[in-house]
């Protein structure tokens, strides 16, 4: 079975912890070699954040568990890259 090398998820999180602390906590997950967070939308009560994880074998269950422990909720899985390497996403005519 192929390993997950990149995972992009959409998350709803409370304002606290800050996006800096939230991302720092997620970067400490054993299977995660790097994580990038981008604020997509700011609401009165929550923040919508896009999270991109990379690693040799990214463990979604561990990521989801940590997000929930920080008060967040996984809204959707938006991209998954599996295999021996990450294939670059190229624009098509539909884009």
What average pLDDT does this structure show over 23-42?
97
Alpha-carbon distance 79 to 10, whole Å?
A: 10
What average pLDDT does this structure show over 15-22?
97
Does residue 59 belong to any structural domain of this protein? yes
- Which tens digit of pLDDT belongs to each residue from 37-76? 999 999 999 999 999 999 999 999 999 999 999 999 999 9
Alpha-carbon distance 34 to 57, whole Å?
A: 12
Does residue 57 belong to any structural domain of this protein? yes
Specify the number of domains making up the chain. 1
Alpha-carbon distance 20 to 89, whole Å?
A: 27
Q: pLDDT at residue 95 above 90?
A: no
Does residue 95 belong to any structural domain of this protein? no
What does the pLDDT read at residue 52?
Answer: 98
What average pLDDT does this structure show over 75-80?
97
Instruction: Please check whether residue 6 is in contact with residue 78, taking contact to mean a CB–CB distance below 8 angstroms.
Output: no
Residue 47, domain CATH: 3.30.70.1340
Give the tokens for residue 51.
């999270």
Domain that residue 52 falls in: 4-82
């Amino acid at each position: 079975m192929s390993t997950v090398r990149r995972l992009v998820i959409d998350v709803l999180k409370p304002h606290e912890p800050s996006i800096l602390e939230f991302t720092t906590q997620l970067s400490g997950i054993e299977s995660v070699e790097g994580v990038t967070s981008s604020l997509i939308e700011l609401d009165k009560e929550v923040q919508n954040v896009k999270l991109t994880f990379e690693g040799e074998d990214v463990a979604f269950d561990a990521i989801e568990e940590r997000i929930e422990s920080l008060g967040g909720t996984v809204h959707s899985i938006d991209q998954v890259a599996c295999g021996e390497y990450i294939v670059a996403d190229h624009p098509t005519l539909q884009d």
